[in-house]
Amino acid sequence: MDTESGVVSSHELSSWSQPRHLQAVMLCVMITSAVSLETLDIPVVMEKPWRLWGALEACLLTMCAWSWGICRVSLLALILTFHLYGGFILLGLILASVAGILYKFQDVLLYFPDQPSSSRLYVPMPTGIPHENVYIRTKDGVRLNLILLRYTGENPTSAPTILYFHGNAGNIGHRVPNALLMLVNLKSNVVLVDYRGYGKSEGEPSEEGLYQDAEATLDYVMTRPDIDKTKVVLFGRSLGGAVAIRLASCNPHRVAAIMVENTFLSIPHMAATLFSFFPMRYLPLWCYKNKFLSYRHVALCHMPSLFISGLSDQLIPPVMMKQLYELSPSRTKRLGIFPEGTHNDTWQCQGYFAALEQFMKELLKNHAREETAQGTTNVTII
């Protein structure tokens, strides 16, 4: 690793999980579907403004859902009627129903919890390795499944802990081989979490839901007396990279470092890349049900950061990883470049774990230096 430039040159990078996501949302969304609540200028009673705002938001969202539902059910009838009689109102209803269908369909384009087909039925567990199969609850009551791989080598209580956020398909069992190599090479505990709707976790995936899942995982780790809470490192691959960046941006004092691999700037950026025809580049943000605005969140991540990029990634343009690296305000940031790294197989490239290991060594060295400095400042000289 070139510590001055922060660039690792090897061959690897990988990850996220066979997506093909995003949203080709229609430009013409009806009033009921397109209105952004944040732009409404509504007088609020001083006594309970938040309750009124919440009620108004719930009301509007319910109206949108019902309108889209009715339009979707009657779409064929609307098209036939419009073909026979025409009319701007019918055209508007058709456009609204199509926009509603596409908006709702975005989740199908982004999340693949059923790939491979047995992913919701069977989660492979590690064998011969100390581990815990844990279930936790998020703040909104969703039950999540976690696997904690325990490092049992020298000084296990002071070992770092890596929170592993996977891509948009499969489950945590599919990531166990990769996680075991992290445990061995980085001498760290590894916590893998299945998002809501994945593996044995309950619920349905959504952007806000994944953020809550990540927060709940971090909260759980912080309650463990056998884990060093000052050495929590986030790792995210592909979609998991966006989740890790968001979690780090909201918890700067609880996260020691982040490592992200083959992730993207945002879903709108990916939409413009995958669907390069004219309208996609000019769609406003409220057209996207899932946004994952990593390019904004990374600007709040001042902790040490490692960006791992596979130049042979055919899904997410490698230039996005470089842009995230450049947007990072961290004083200790590194960019690991692996020319032969593809989207899902970068971690199998030669030199991959050497790059991660060097980053972790730098992190722990700085951590020890800070502890020494704190120890000396706490001494009273008489």
Active site residues: 238, 313, 343
| Contact criterion met (CB below 8 Å) for 310 and 341 | yes
Pairing between β-strand 143-149 and β-strand 333-338 as defined by DSSP bridges: unpaired
Compute φ and ψ for 377, nearest 5 degrees: -70, -20
The CA dihedral of 109, 114, 120, 122, to the nearest 10 degrees, is -140
Tell me how far apart the alpha carbons of residues 256 and 161 are, in angstroms, rounded to a whole number.
10
Tell me how far apart the alpha carbons of residues 126 and 101 are, in angstroms, rounded to a whole number.
41
In order of 18, 213, 283, 380, the CA distances from 139 in angstroms are 29, 9, 32, 44
Q: What one-character DSSP code corresponds to residue 139?
A: T
Task: Report the chain's terminal Cα–Cα distance, integer Å.
Answer: 45
For residue 305, the cross-strand partners are 258, 333
Compute φ and ψ for 190, nearest 5 degrees: -130, 125
Locus of tokens 């709940």: 216
| Contact criterion met (CB below 8 Å) for 172 and 193 | yes
Tell me how far apart the alpha carbons of residues 344 and 329 are, in angstroms, rounded to a whole number.
27
Task: Say how many residues make up the chain.
Answer: 382
